[in-house]
């Protein structure tokens, strides 16, 4: 107990010393971490101040440039761009933006020789009609960051509000956004240029905004220590400025942040550590820790020496006591072992006698002279005598095989011949019968003598079973011989070439096989099948592909090129089946059929199909090229007719205006025809592009209906639209889907009588666990013949009841079907009971899901 207390006190002192050292180490680390954090905050404040100063200078500079350009219009934008846009300047580009009213749009487009456009789905498209536009009138230099001429900047975010504010005030404004959808935020400065219709636009170089103005202002660059990020209130999810672009945005809190309002925009500036703050101890701190550790080690060493001296004395006393206890324990164990040995010997003898009496096998103990010492009850029952009567009898009386007639040879010589392995013998019973038995003879060696143990088993029943098995084997051999002869006769009688193959060697063939492979006699038996294949690689490849299926119990079929005995190649169809799939060694049965003539016909048809496809492809490409070539001059014709119509209208020439209107109508009809031909050509060669995304199908239906309403009003036809529910959302290409609806409505208006009504119905249904949108267009026209309900969707095909006098090329419905197939949908035509036709199409609401199911099915 005192020793335990001393060890506990030593261990406690060590733990206390370590605790003191760790506490001192933690305090030093915390002090160093606080100093580093304060230094990073200093760099963050300095860096954000530089960004604010740079942006203020850029705003003031842009205001001065606008005043200079307004006061000296003759200087021009090119000279100003040459002076302002430099590699060391904060400005990367310069341009002008004009306010264009709707009534001045045509004049502006004529002046810049292009239309006012917007960016949608990564493509520039004509801007829809609105009251005001803010298009780019000019921009320099024309590099990768240049804004295209005519691009309307008021369509992104809050850009229109910023542009209006800059136009009405003299203060420059910050314009942020992504007008080209390039994936990175663009930052520009806009300021009024002379009047309230023209704005000066300066593109800011973002990498210059976060750099120090000059190395003389600060002792070091903050970007070496912190990462600067600037967000705008209008775009809180994407930074306007980033000193480390390309790296993931930080998720932790900034070490320094500030708010600032610049150019009418509320900005949030933040500074983040470039790397985690890791505290490190300096030389002074390590010296303090080392001194404390040495003092504690000296105290522990003194206490340890005292403890070792006391422990040495206690160990000597304990060693003497343990030696006395060990001697006493050894003596007691010797006495206990002697008693256990005597008891175990008595138990072993009793156990052996019990086993001998209870054993179901006949056991006989024989001494070294060959006389029976003891027999168990099972042996006495087998001999049909009592166990006492068998004692002291020679063993040769019971088993003649163990009888030794020569007195000079001891029983040991006879026992050695049979010792260690079972052998068959005969037991002479009391009724003079000889019973077949199996004997096992083993020698048991005792300390002063030895004897033999004989185990005897009755095998009379086994002998009877062996005789029955021999008879059965002979019977099965006869049946196999008969079946082999029947199989040989069946093979010879078959008109098809057949072969029995084992381990890919021919074991039996018929006459049809010899005729097919041009062989003589039966010399092929026992030869491998490799010689009949085109090459060894084909032989190996065919075997690996077919024999795994044969071992599964399947009937295989394949077509390969084989070689006759005279070296001629021919196409052959193989049919094979395993005799017993569970036993592959039994072999397989094969049937051979010459299909050379059939393969020749198939090859001819394949070449004809390829030639037809190439001809169709050449026709389609020619049609697409011609459509492009025809559309170019046609656009010029339509443009000049519109200009002529406007001038005739201004001059009051009514007759001339009608002529230009007719030319414009005919040209528009011809342009529609060329567009249909071009779309069909693109669909046939697989070049049609679709911009499928989440869209409003109800809006597409309403826009198409509004567009076709004037055409129906000319014939006194009304359009009625019913949507259930009112908002139908699906994955669609709005432009192509509008093309489908306009084609169907155009046909319905064309063939409906005056004063009738066209009904457009759309609703959502569920089919096979998927959501679909069904749209139908019903008219009051002559209807369609039943035999033409499917053919009218073919190219250049019109219905026999409508093709006379109605015009058209028969491409509209074909294009509709191709567009709907691209949406994973379908379209059908039918007749209404009261007269008129109905066209119904359906598309899935989730295009991506349908696409994945199609890929899984393939």
Q: What's the confidence (pLDDT) of residue 778?
A: 92
Q: What's the confidence (pLDDT) of residue 451?
A: 84
Cis before 141 (ω within 30): yes
Can you list the alpha helix ranges (DSSP code H) found in 521-595? 536-550
Q: In whole angstroms, how large is the CA radius of gyration of the chain?
A: 53
Show the CA angle centred on residue 177, arms to residues 176 and 183, nearest 5°.
130
CATH number of this structure's domain 689-857, picked from the four choices 3.30.565.10, 3.40.50.620, 3.40.190.10, 3.40.50.300: 3.30.565.10
CA distance 558 to 555: 10
Do the domains spanning 494-594 and 689-857 agree at the CATH topology level? Answer: no
Where do the domains of the chain lie?
47-273, 361-458, 494-594, 605-671, 689-857
CA separation, residue 158 to residues 55, 96, 163, 322, 475 (Å): 20, 19, 9, 95, 101
HSE-CB for 708 with a 13 A CA cutoff: 27
- Using CA atoms in the order 509, 513, 518, 519, what is the torsion angle rounded to 10 degrees? 10
By the 10 Å C-beta count (0-12 exposed, 13-18 middle, 19+ buried), 755 is classed as: exposed
CA separation, residue 80 to residues 69, 173, 366, 538 (Å): 8, 20, 130, 77
Full DSSP string of 357-388? HH-SSEEEEE-TTSBEEEE-HHHHHHHTS-HH
In terms of CATH architecture, what is 361-458? 2-Layer Sandwich (3.30)
pTM for this model (two decimals): 0.36
CA distance 501 to 174: 88
- 520: enclosing H helix or E strand: none
Question: Are 620 and 684 in contact, with CB atoms under 8 Å apart?
Answer: yes
Show the CA angle centred on residue 22, arms to residues 18 and 28, nearest 5°.
150
Encoding tokens for residue 765?
């249904």
Q: Which CATH class is domain 494-594?
A: alpha beta
Q: Which of 118, 108, 205 is nearest to 160 (CA)?
A: 118
Q: Mean pLDDT, consecutive 10-residue segments, the chain of 858 residues?
A: 61 79 77 79 83 86 84 75 83 90 89 86 83 89 84 83 85 75 72 84 84 57 80 78 81 85 83 76 76 79 76 79 81 80 74 75 82 82 78 80 70 77 81 80 78 84 84 80 71 79 86 82 80 87 85 86 86 88 85 86 84 71 64 72 80 80 75 68 68 90 88 87 89 88 88 90 88 92 83 70 53 83 90 88 78 46
Q: Which CATH class is domain 47-273?
A: alpha beta
Q: What's the confidence (pLDDT) of residue 216?
A: 45
């Amino acid at each position: 107990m005192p020793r335990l207390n001393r060890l506990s006190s030593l261990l406690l002192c060590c733990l206390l010393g370590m605790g003191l050292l760790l506490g001192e180490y933690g305090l030093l680390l915390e002090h160093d971490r606080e100093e580093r954090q304060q230094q990073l905050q200093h760099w963050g404040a300095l860096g954000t101040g530089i960004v604010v100063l740079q942006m203020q200078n850029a705003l003031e500079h842009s205001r001065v440039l606008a005043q200079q350009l307004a006061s000296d219009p003759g200087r021009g934008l090119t000279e100003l761009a040459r002076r302002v846009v430099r590699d060391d300047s904060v400005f990367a580009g310069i341009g002008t933006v004009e306010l264009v009213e709707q009534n001045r749009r045509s004049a502006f487009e004529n002046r810049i020789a292009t239309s006012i456009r917007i960016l949608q789905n990564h493509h520039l498209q004509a801007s829809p009609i609105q009251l005001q536009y803010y298009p780019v009138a000019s921009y320099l230099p024309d590099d990768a960051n240049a804004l295209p001429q005519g691009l309307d900047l008021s369509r992104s975010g809050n850009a229109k509000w910023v542009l209006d504010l800059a136009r009405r005030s003299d203060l420059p404004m910050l314009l942020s956004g992504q007008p080209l959808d390039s994936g990175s935020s663009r930052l520009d400065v806009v300021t009024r240029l002379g009047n309230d219709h023209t704005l000066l636009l300066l593109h800011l170089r973002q990498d210059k905004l976060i750099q120090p103005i000059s190395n003389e202002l600060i002792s070091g660059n903050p970007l070496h220590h912190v990462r600067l990020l600037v967000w705008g209130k209008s775009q809180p999810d994407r930074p306007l400025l980033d000193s480390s672009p390309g790296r993931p945005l930080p998720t932790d809190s900034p070490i320094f942040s500030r708010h600032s309002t610049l150019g009418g925009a509320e900005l949030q500036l933040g500074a983040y550590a470039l790397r985690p703050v890791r505290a490190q101890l300096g030389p002074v701190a390590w010296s303090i820790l080392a001194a404390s550790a040495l003092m504690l080690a000296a105290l522990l060493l003194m206490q340890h020496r005292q403890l070792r001296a006391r422990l040495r004395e206690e160990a000597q006393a304990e060693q003497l006591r343990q030696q006395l206890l060990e001697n006493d324990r050894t003596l007691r164990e010797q006495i206990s072992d002697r008693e256990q040995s005597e008891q175990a010997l008595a138990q072993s003898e009793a156990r052996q006698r019990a086993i001998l009496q209870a054993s179901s096998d006949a056991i006989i103990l024989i001494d070294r002279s060959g006389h029976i010492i003891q027999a168990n009850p099972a042996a006495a029952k087998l001999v049909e005598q009592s166990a006492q009567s068998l004692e002291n009898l020679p063993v040769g009386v019971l088993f003649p095989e163990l009888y030794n007639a020569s007195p000079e040879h001891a029983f040991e010589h006879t026992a050695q011949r049979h010792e260690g392995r079972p052998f068959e013998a005969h037991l002479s019973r009391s009724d003079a019968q000889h019973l077949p038995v199996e004997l096992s003879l083993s020698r048991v060696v005792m300390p002063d003598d030895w004897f033999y143990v004989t185990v005897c088993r009755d095998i009379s029943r086994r002998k009877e079973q062996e005789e029955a098995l021999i008879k059965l084997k002979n019977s099965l051999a006869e049946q196999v011989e008969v079946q082999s002869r029947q199989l040989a006769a069946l093979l010879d009688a078959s008109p098809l070439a057949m072969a029995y193959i084992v381990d890919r060697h021919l074991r039996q063939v018929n006459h049809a096989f010899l005729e097919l492979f041009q062989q003589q006699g039966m010399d092929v038996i026992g030869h491998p099948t490799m010689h009949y294949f085109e090459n060894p690689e084909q032989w190996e490849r065919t075997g690996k592909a077919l024999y795994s299926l044969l071992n599964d119990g399947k009937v295989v079929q394949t077509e390969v090129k084989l070689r006759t005995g005279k070296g001629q190649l021919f196409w052959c169809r193989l049919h094979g089946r395993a005799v017993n799939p569970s036993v592959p060694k039994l072999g397989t049965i094969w049937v051979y059929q010459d299909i050379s003539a059939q393969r020749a016909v198939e090859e001819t048809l394949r070449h004809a199909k390829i030639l037809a496809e190439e001809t169709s492809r050449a026709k389609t490409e020619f049609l697409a090229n011609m459509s492009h070539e025809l559309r170019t001059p046609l656009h010029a014709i339509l443009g000049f007719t519109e200009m002529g119509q406007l001038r005739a209208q201004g001059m009051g020439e009514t007759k001339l205006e009608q002529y230009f209107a007719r030319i414009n109508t005919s040209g528009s009809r011809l342009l529609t025809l060329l567009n249909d031909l071009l779309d069909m050509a693109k669909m046939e060669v697989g070049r049609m592009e679709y911009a499928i995304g989440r869209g409003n199908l109800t809006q597409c239906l309403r826009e198409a209906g509004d567009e076709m309403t004037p055409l129906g009003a000319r014939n006194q036809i009304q359009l009625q639209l019913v949507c259930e529910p009112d908002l139908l959302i699906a994955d669609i290409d709005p432009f192509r889907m509008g093309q489908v609806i306009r084609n169907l409505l155009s046909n319905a208006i064309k063939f409906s009588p005056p004063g009738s009504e066209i009904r457009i119905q759309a609703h959502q249904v569920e089919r096979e666990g998927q959501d679909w949108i069904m749209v139908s267009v019903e008219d009051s026209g002559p209807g369609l013949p039943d035999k033409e309900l499917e053919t009218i969707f073919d190219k250049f095909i019109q219905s026999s009841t409508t093709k006379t006098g109605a015009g058209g090329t028969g491409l509209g419905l074909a294009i509709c079907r191709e567009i709907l197939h691209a949406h994973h949908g379908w379209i059908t035509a039918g007749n209404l009971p009261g007269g008129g036709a109905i066209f119904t199409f359906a598309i899935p609401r989730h295009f991506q899901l349908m696409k994945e199911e199609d890929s899984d099915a393939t």
